[in-house]
Structure 1
Amino acid sequence: MHILSLAAVAALAHHAAAQFNMLRFACSQLVVERTDPLVNPGMLYSPHLHQIVGGNSFNVSMPPETHDQAALSTCTSCSFAEDFSNYWTAVMFFRHRNGSVIRVPQVGNGGPQGQLINKGGLDVYYIPSGKVTAFKKGFRMLAGSATNTDNSKVNKGNICHRCWQSTNDNQFTGGAPCTGADTVDIPYGNQCKMVRQTIIFPTCWDGKNLDSPDHQSHVAYSGAGASGGGRCPATHPVKLPQIMYELMWNTSTFMDQSMWPNDGKNPFVYSTNLGNRGSAAHGDYLFGWKDDTLQKAMDNNCNLDRDCPRAGIHKQQPAVYNACTKEQQAPEPVDGYLKSIPMGEMAAERA
């Protein structure tokens, strides 16, 4: 039996990723603020800071019975004009030795499928595996946990980080997401010029509930990794497109270790600020595609971020989706060096 070299395996993974039909597109920053209509609906100044992308009808409260993102939004910060969904994650901060903190800048993600252009924000994948059923209007879910500080409770095959040894986002590093040397914690060191964060959502639905009290029980994983998922369990029999978020955090401007805190801990931390661990990484999703365009995109093998006339989806130019922003609903400073990570009451002071 022939054993493939690591280089050959990487080459095969690179080729497969380049050929696999899936939606993969950029979403620029809509707003950075402390609101969370999924976990903390109606609350201004939610417990931690989020970076949000997608339709501009995003609001502090978005009841699924009345809030139709596609109907209420006038623009989307995602590159597909028909996608008014909202996607959000925690924010990564750098802790300076003097006690101040600053948001780590984000860039687009390249890799074997080609460069995506965004202004902050993140990149979104919809990966089908066989026949899939698109999400229904009002559907929402959560991946990961903002309160977890235990790495052992995180499936590294679904939520992970990768040390990127170049600031060139098109210089593909490693194999498939959440494999190999990927870690639950945020990697750091002078070799990590960027950090790629990956959040993979469940692919199986109970077929009944658009949400659940914990925003997770109505869905289930059917394996790990960015494979589109395996066979669904009887409790959650409906196969969904697999959603994956990828974020590229540019840590290269913080390589001077004289800036790092001298407590021996990771200088990079999420806005949850719980134990300085990547195990609190999480992603929120509120479905908002127009009409049945997502189902048609899955049925017609639409690929990457290209126009797909068969499904009626259209790629916007970066200048268009970059321009879709909105004012903070929970106003407070989030740019530049801050005295502390925004938590608790309204943050009022910069460093």
Structure 2
Amino acid sequence: MHSWATVAAVGLLASGAAAQNMLRFACSQLVVDRIDPLVNPGQRYTPHLHQIVGGNSFNLTMDINNHDLAAKSTCTSCSFVQDLSNYWTAVMFFKAKNGTYKRVPQVGNGGPQGQLINKGGLDIYYIPSGKVTAFKPGFRMLAGNAANTDNSKVTKGNICHRCWTSTNDNTFVGGAPCTGSDTVDIPQDTKCKMIRQTIIFPTCWDGKNLDSPDHKSHVAYSGTGASGGGSCPSSHPVKLPQIMYELMWNVSSFMDKSIWPDSGNALMYSMNLGGAAAHGDYVFGWKGDSLQKAMDKNCNLNKDCPAAGLTYQAPEKYNACNVKQQAPEDVEGWLKALPMGEMAIKA
């Protein structure tokens, strides 16, 4: 899919991007909560805070054998009605000189394929490369490592950050995702008005296991970047659609350098770690064979696709799909400390 670079370079809008035949759609915030049914099933107040989007059956424990997201969810905070999957990542915080913390807001993203509207969520891509096999019910996986502090252990072509010097998300900056001046680190610079975070998932599956103890071994990368992936190794022979998360962190309200800490980073993820610990969790929940059909029928971007039975819902619909926190705490506004272990305490 070399068209990625071409599309980015010439800045074509949705019509020009049609040749890519990839789903690209917005998901608004379902909840910001300290639970993680993939890594810490059953635990309330997990080690760090997540922001979650997708189907409203998201729960403390989503057992692989009996939690059918598509059947149990009654709405989704994503723009395709048929997608009841859940997607989540860590939360970015700003640390002020006085030691207090505030969650960085998330906004929608424009770019060459046109603007996506989300209310505090993220944008999702499903990028095929050749014939792909959709995920099976119960499938889940993890990209990145929430405990990692070593940039050299991160493949910059799959997990990266980009500095945007404007809050105008429709002015596309740079080339294809995770290329050029993109960094593993979170940019720590007041010239960055927004920071785009990209998380690209593996595209090859062993064809047997819906999960693995580390949530990674059942899948494998085949190349880097948002290309849809290359040919798969014999150990993981089944080609999957490539999932990519795109998050726009609006840091423009933290531009006053006088409130930045005298030393150390001003921006970090909710693990109190930097970009090397960026990670994304995925639990599949598309209805029936709708994702397979969407890939086979070359459905594109965030439009209705009658050939696959995909229906787009308007932002006011997906924005309205929310759930209450299952680990209740007030994580908005200035906090005395990052919500890790203890419940959040207001500054």
Where do 5+ consecutive residues of structure 1 fail to align? 1-6
Are 1:125 and 2:137 counterparts? no
Q: 1:4 matched to which residue of 2?
A: none
The one-letter code sitting in structure 1 at the alignment partner of 2:291 is L
- Could you tell me whether the CA contact under 8 Å between 1:302 and 1:311 is conserved in 2? yes
The one-letter code sitting in structure 2 at the alignment partner of 1:278 is G
1:97-246 maps to which residues of 2 (within 5 A)? 97-246=97-246
User: Runs of 4 or more off by more than 4 Å in structure 1?
Assistant: 7-10, 12-18
| Aligned positions, number | 341
- Could you tell me whether the CA contact under 8 Å between 1:13 and 1:175 is conserved in 2? no
Distance across 2 between alignment mates of 1:8 and 1:299? 23
Are 1:333 and 2:319 counterparts? no
The one-letter code sitting in structure 2 at the alignment partner of 1:350 is K
Q: 2:53 matched to which residue of 1?
A: 53
1:283-302 maps to which residues of 2 (within 5 A)? 283-302=280-299
Distance across 1 between alignment mates of 2:203 and 2:25? 19
Distance across 2 between alignment mates of 1:236 and 1:123? 27
Alpha-carbon RMSD: 1.5
The one-letter code sitting in structure 2 at the alignment partner of 1:315 is Y
Cα displacement (A) at 1:266: 2.0
Q: 1:11 matched to which residue of 2?
A: 9
- 1:128-182, CA deviations, whole angstroms, 9 ceiling, x for partnerless residues? 0000000000000000000000000000000000001110000000000000000
Q: 1:271 matched to which residue of 2?
A: 270
Q: 1:3 matched to which residue of 2?
A: none
- 1:226-249, CA deviations, whole angstroms, 9 ceiling, x for partnerless residues? 000000000000000000000000
Q: 1:258 matched to which residue of 2?
A: 258
Cα displacement (A) at 1:346: 2.4
SS of match in other structure, 1:184: coil
Are 1:20 and 2:20 counterparts? yes
- Could you tell me whether the CA contact under 8 Å between 2:7 and 2:112 is conserved in 1? no
Distance across 2 between alignment mates of 1:23 and 1:54? 15
Cα displacement (A) at 1:98: 0.9
Percent identity (aligned):
75
312, 315, 320: which one aligns with 1:318: 315
- 1:88-134, CA deviations, whole angstroms, 9 ceiling, x for partnerless residues? 00000000111110000111010000000010010000000000000
302, 307, 311: which one aligns with 2:304: 307
- Could you tell me whether the CA contact under 8 Å between 2:8 and 2:112 is conserved in 1? no
- Could you tell me whether the CA contact under 8 Å between 1:100 and 1:337 is conserved in 2? yes
Cα displacement (A) at 1:189: 1.4
Distance across 2 between alignment mates of 1:29 and 1:145? 22
Where do 5+ consecutive residues of structure 2 fail to align? none
Are 1:84 and 2:81 counterparts? no
Cα displacement (A) at 1:13: 7.8
- Could you tell me whether the CA contact under 8 Å between 1:161 and 1:182 is conserved in 2? yes
- TM-score, normalised relative to structure 1: 0.95
- 1:302-338, CA deviations, whole angstroms, 9 ceiling, x for partnerless residues? 0000000000010000000000001000001110001
Call closer, same or farther: CA 1:71–1:19 in 2, change over 3 Å.
same
Are 1:345 and 2:342 counterparts? yes
- Could you tell me whether the CA contact under 8 Å between 1:163 and 1:188 is conserved in 2? no
Distance across 1 between alignment mates of 2:126 and 2:98? 42
- Could you tell me whether the CA contact under 8 Å between 1:202 and 1:220 is conserved in 2? yes
- 1:272-328, CA deviations, whole angstroms, 9 ceiling, x for partnerless residues? 113xx2100000000000000000000000000000000001000000000000100
The one-letter code sitting in structure 2 at the alignment partner of 1:131 is K
Distance across 1 between alignment mates of 2:105 and 2:129? 33
- Could you tell me whether the CA contact under 8 Å between 2:107 and 2:119 is conserved in 1? yes
Call closer, same or farther: CA 1:122–1:8 in 2, change over 3 Å.
closer
Distance across 2 between alignment mates of 1:258 and 1:162? 23
- Could you tell me whether the CA contact under 8 Å between 1:69 and 1:85 is conserved in 2? yes
Distance across 1 between alignment mates of 2:62 and 2:173? 38
Distance across 2 between alignment mates of 1:25 and 1:9? 17
- 1:64-103, CA deviations, whole angstroms, 9 ceiling, x for partnerless residues? 1000011001100000000000000000000011111000
Distance across 1 between alignment mates of 2:331 and 2:33? 8
- TM-score, normalised relative to structure 2: 0.96
- 1:236-263, CA deviations, whole angstroms, 9 ceiling, x for partnerless residues? 0000000000000001111100110111
- Could you tell me whether the CA contact under 8 Å between 1:109 and 1:117 is conserved in 2? yes
